[in-house]
A and B are shown apart, each in its own frame.
Chain A
């Protein structure tokens, strides 16, 4: 395997929203506003999982969305990390044990970081993404070591 460059520059994030009430999604957008401005660290949302290093998942996952979420995860190139934002994705939250939901998310795809909260504050989301970043750097070193 060749040398990986992407994490020496910036971290690109793809946001997949399942059955979210939009509370967590609004907080994710808030992290990009001038008050928190995550983009100054190179952390930015991208429109395709194929360009992303981190997958942010919000909301409980409806039955029909499970295979789509799995496919989104599979389409991300390695190394990659998954951050679940909010109570619903972490444990089902308000919708725990609902008949039309599957999950929690870690039963569908491997999750690296949980950011609990309903919704979590932008500081918590940034902290979660930074934890994912550290995880990815470890994975990157493993990949480079394996060449």
Chain B
């Protein structure tokens, strides 16, 4: 936990210029007003490669204030190269902000592929990095056509796709990017979060913003909004089952776990995906 309080005089506060921020803000504004709808925006070049969180970072830079405390996670980890670089970059160009790894202390959490284990509060905003914003892309390659499908609520092919999976495999095979219906209207890609995290989007206290920089789309789930995974009455949605496995470090069995192969012989261990939660739990337990 540290704060970089030197002032970079070479950039605007939060790096990108004001016109761009306004455009991103207008997209965010309409995205919140139309939950689950993908608002196009003119995604700009950032000092990151596209696909490394440029959508999320443009959102973060457009909304952050000097009194914010930022946390960045990548697959649940605060310490990955991607998370560290984004955190350092935002802190460097946004003098005054605080940075943290503690979920409970953050006001903005930028994340890739996970929603933190600790419940999000109403004063927190989760910014999700999205590689493929279009949930219908699996069944329709044309952007023109998917836009029409969303406009007309023509989701039959998506339902058929799920149904065919059940017929063939007895289960919907989608493990992450599980499609959801937002506010009983649009079908939305919740970004590549595991199934474990999908229920956390439903009627949440916090605001969720989704940014796809490469695909130039922003969408949102406001607080207290119904978000339901696409499922059949006789085939309910299921989250991952770890069959009683526990985190090797903190002993947790009610968190999302990463399976890690330790030896060539195939010895496996499980660790909490949310490193901050795991660390905190170990401290509490004194292990």
B partners with A? no
Residues of A within 8 A of B (CB): none
